[in-house]
Amino acid sequence: TTEIYTLSLHDALPISMFKKILLSGLLGGLAMFLWEGVAHEVLPLGETGVRGLDNEAAVVAALKENIKEPGLYFFPGGEMLKPGLSAAQKEAATKKAAEQFRAGPAGIMVVHPEGLDAMSPWHFAHQALFDVAVMLLAAFLLSRALSLTSFGGRLLFVTLIGLVPTLSAELPYWNWYGFPTAYIMSQGLIHLVGFLAGGLVAAWLVKPRKVA
C-alpha cells in the first residue's frame, strides 16, 4: 500500500490538527519571544547599527520646541506632504525635496513629544501576542504544506518564513531610507533565528495527515 500525504485547502481542519496548531502557536510564539529577549537584552543584535546623538540635549530641546503632535516625520521635503497641493505644486515640491535630500541632512523619525514608556509591561505583552499570532499563521501554513513529511523539511519551511519580514520590510527601509546595513543584517538574523526557534515546536507538533 502506498501512503499519500494530501490535504486540500478546502478540507475541513481536523480538531486534532486545530489543537496542534494552537499549541504550536502558543509554544512557538513563546520560544520566539524568549529568543528576541536574548537578542536584545543579552546579545548586541538588537542595538547593532543604532547610534546615539552626540548632542542629544540640544536636539531633544529643538524637537520639543518644533514638534507638538506625535507621529512619523519625514525630512527634508515636508512641503510635498502637505494636503491640497496641485499637480504642479506637488511636482515642484518633490523636485525641491530631492535636491534637499542630496544636500542633507535627511531622514525619518518617530517622535512622541509627550514621551513614551517603551519598557512597560503592556509593550512586552503586545510583543508576545504578536509572536504567538505569527507562529499560529506559520503553523497553519505548515499544516497545508502537503509534501513536508520529514521533521527537517518542516523545520526548514517555517524557518524560511523568517526571511519574509526582511525581504518585504527591512530591505525596503535600507533601499529607500538608508537604514544602516548592519542594522538590517542584525534584524534579519533575529527574524530568522526567531522562526527557527518557533519552527522547532511547529515541526514537532504539526504533521501532514496521512491518507491510505
**Grid cell for residue 175:** 533601499
How much is the average pLDDT of 59-65?
90
> Above 50 in pLDDT, residue 6?
no
Do residues 100 and 83 touch, judged by C-beta distance below 8 A?
no
**H-helix or E-strand containing 73?**
strand 71-75
> Above 70 in pLDDT, residue 104?
yes
Contacting residues for 109 by C-beta, under 8 A, at least 6 apart: 72, 73, 75
Q: Give the model's pLDDT for residue 58.
A: 93
Q: How far apart are CA 199 and CA 212, in angstroms?
A: 27
Q: Give the model's pLDDT for residue 12.
A: 60
The model carries a pTM of 0.83
Q: How far apart are CA 197 and CA 39, in angstroms?
A: 12
Q: Give the model's pLDDT for residue 3.
A: 40
Q: What is the DSSP letter of 168?
A: I
Q: Which tens digit of pLDDT belongs to each residue from 118-135?
A: 788 899 999 999 999 999
Q: Give the model's pLDDT for residue 35.
A: 97
**Grid cell for residue 79:** 512641503
Q: Which tens digit of pLDDT belongs to each residue from 201-210?
A: 999 999 876 5
Cα-based torsion angle of the residue sequence 185, 186, 190, 196 in order, rounded to the nearest 10 degrees: 50
pLDDT grade, residue 5 (50/70/90)? very low
**Grid cell for residue 168:** 518585504
Q: How far apart are CA 13 and CA 18, in angstroms?
A: 6
Q: How many CB atoms lie within 10 A of CB 195?
A: 28
Single-letter amino acid, residue 115: G
Q: Which tens digit of pLDDT belongs to each residue from 147-167?
A: 888 999 999 999 999 999 999
Q: Exposure string (b/e) for 40-67, b if CB count within 10 Å is 16 or more?
A: eeeeebbebeeeeeeeeeeeeeeeeeee
